[in-house]
């Protein structure tokens, strides 16, 4: 599974089509999660989407793809929900009835790359207030194996969700018999309501959040080295690196086992050590964690990701395992309540986030023969975002940071040191 963005993805040349279902009726109002509200409140904008791409195992028709996609959309509640605002500006989310839409062909003019036109399509259709805010795109190349791209505004999906959508689309294409379809999954709105109904976070959780934010200057953690002038959003720089191959991962896992920890704490240990060496401070970062704690959510599509904070000042593996465990705990409580004293999540220019995705631990797998790719959008940014992805071929990372000379130097130096340290630890 590649981790890339739309400006770097592999996509064959061919005729490009996109398909969106039609909203036929607006139904009841749904609860909005803390992260959905924060995301959608930023308004209509390009690049708010995320996607996944693959080559289909065999030829099919656009008509068959449309039928299969409509069945997938109807199965997952968040895909048939739409954000709007009331006349007084209040954000609302409604369930909607969806029906068959229409295919649109998008010209790929001579001299243009298919992926550049695809980016324009997804930027225009997968926005927070679009109705619907997702799109099925297809490239018909000469070899008759269509390339499919599923894009959606982030308010409705996370990376786990994208894998579920691929699984369900392929299953529907393989057997369209209504009786063979799985039942509708639990709706994300149910998860939102359940989280809001939880008791308030205990005092020790509030206190620990406050300590980490205070150490970060009263805001969410920022990258530990200078980034230059990020008072305004800058074009993004994206780096994609293969960190460890499968043999190196196996050696590092074995080392971690000797210390009684998993792989993630070993990676945190490397980042902790490098941050202390280069910045003379603990590793502090925003740490997204998933909220599919109940197996009943494993087949559900939605934004099942919330934020925690990770603080690690001791590179010993056991200490790093403790830091990860604490971060998971800090992210398991309703953030609207925890962050109310700060007026919501106190983001600031330079915010630093580290995401970890172990594809081997997900309950759904995608055949490597389909050339699957997680595809990010192209945006402007003022912060540093790091994604680690572990799959059958090894450990990979994708990093996004603002395009300033100082950020290129600082982030590049930090990444070089982390990759080198992990290489030493796995040798």
Per-residue DSSP letters for 227-268?
A: ----SS-EEEEEEEEEEEEHHHHHHHHHHHHHTT--HHHHHH
Residue 266 has pLDDT above 90, yes or no: yes
Give the contacts of 126 (CB within 8 A, at least 6 positions apart).
48, 49, 51, 133, 134, 135, 151, 152, 153
For domain 2-193, give the CATH number. 3.30.559.10
> Is there a common fold for 2-193 and 201-425?
yes
Q: How far apart are CA 168 and CA 132, in angstroms?
A: 19
Residue 132 has pLDDT above 70, yes or no: yes
Q: What is the 3-state secondary structure (H, E, C) of 13-54?
A: CCEEEEEEEEEEEEEEECCCCHHHHHHHCCCCCCCCEEEEEE
pLDDT digits (tens, 9 = 90+) for 15-33: 999 999 999 999 999 999 9
Q: At what angle do helices 159-174 and 62-75 cross, to 10 degrees?
A: 130
Its pTM stands at 0.94
Q: How far apart are CA 107 and CA 29, in angstroms?
A: 38
* CATH architecture assigned to 201-425: 2-Layer Sandwich (3.30)
DSSP state of 78: G
Q: How far apart are CA 217 and CA 236, in angstroms?
A: 25
Residue 178 has pLDDT above 80, yes or no: no
Q: CA nearest 161: which of 39, 304, 262?
A: 304
On whether the CB atoms of residues 37 and 124 are closer than 8 A, the answer is no
More confident residue, 413 or 367: 413
DSSP state of 363: S
Task: Give me the residue spans of the domains in the chain.
Answer: 2-193, 201-425
Res. 416 pLDDT band, cuts 50 70 90: very high
Token match 């603990």: residue? 282
Res. 183 pLDDT band, cuts 50 70 90: confident
| E strands in 49-183 | 49-55, 81-85, 91-106, 134-140, 147-153
| E strands in 267-351 | 283-290, 305-312
Tokens of 385: 């975002």
């Amino acid at each position: 599974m590649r981790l890339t963005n739309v400006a770097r993805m592999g996509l064959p040349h061919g005729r490009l089509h996109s398909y969106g279902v039609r909203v036929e009726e607006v139904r009841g109002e749904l609860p909005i999660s803390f992260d959905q509200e924060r995301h959608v409140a930023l308004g209509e904008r390009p690049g708010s989407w995320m996607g996944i791409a693959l080559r289909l195992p065999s030829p099919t028709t656009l008509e068959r793809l449309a039928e299969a996609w409509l069945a997938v959309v109807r199965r997952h509640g968040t895909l048939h929900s739409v954000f709007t605002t009331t006349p007084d500006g209040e954000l609302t989310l409604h369930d909607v009835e969806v029906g068959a839409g229409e295919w649109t062909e998008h010209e790929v003019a001579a001299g243009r790359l298919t992926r550049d036109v695809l980016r324009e399509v997804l930027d225009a259709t997968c926005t927070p207030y679009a109705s619907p805010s997702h799109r099925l795109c297809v490239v018909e190349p000469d070899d008759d194996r269509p390339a499919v791209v599923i894009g959606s505004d982030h308010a409705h999906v996370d990376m786990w969700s994208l894998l579920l959508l691929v699984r369900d689309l392929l299953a529907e294409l393989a057997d369209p018999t209504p009786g063979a379809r799985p039942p509708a999954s639990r709706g994300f709105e149910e998860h939102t309501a359940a989280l809001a109904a939880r008791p308030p976070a205990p005092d020790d959780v509030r206190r620990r959040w406050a300590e980490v934010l205070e150490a970060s200057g009263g805001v969410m953690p920022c990258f530990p080295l200078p980034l230059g002038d990020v008072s305004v959003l800058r074009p993004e720089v994206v780096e994609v690196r293969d960190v460890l191959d499968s043999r190196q991962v196996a050696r590092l896992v074995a080392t971690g086992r000797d210390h009684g920890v998993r792989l993630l704490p070993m990676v945190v240990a490397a980042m902790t050590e490098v941050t202390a060496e280069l910045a003379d401070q603990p590793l502090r970062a925003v740490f997204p964690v998933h909220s599919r704690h109940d197996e009943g959510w494993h087949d559900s599509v939605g934004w099942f990701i919330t934020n925690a904070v990770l603080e690690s000042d001791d590179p010993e593996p056991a200490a790093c395992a403790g830091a990860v465990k604490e971060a998971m705990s800090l992210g398991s409580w309703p953030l609207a309540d925890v962050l109310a004293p700060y007026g919501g999540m106190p983001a600031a220019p330079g915010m630093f986030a580290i995401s970890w995705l172990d594809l081997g631990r997900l309950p759904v797998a995608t055949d490597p023969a389909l050339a699957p790719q997680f595809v990010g959008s192209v945006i402007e940014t003022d912060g540093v975002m790091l994604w680690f992805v572990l799959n059958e071929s090894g450990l990979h990372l994708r990093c996004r940071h603002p395009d300033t000379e100082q950020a290129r130097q600082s982030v590049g130096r930090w990444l070089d040191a982390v990759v080198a340290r992990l290489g030493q630890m796995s040798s």
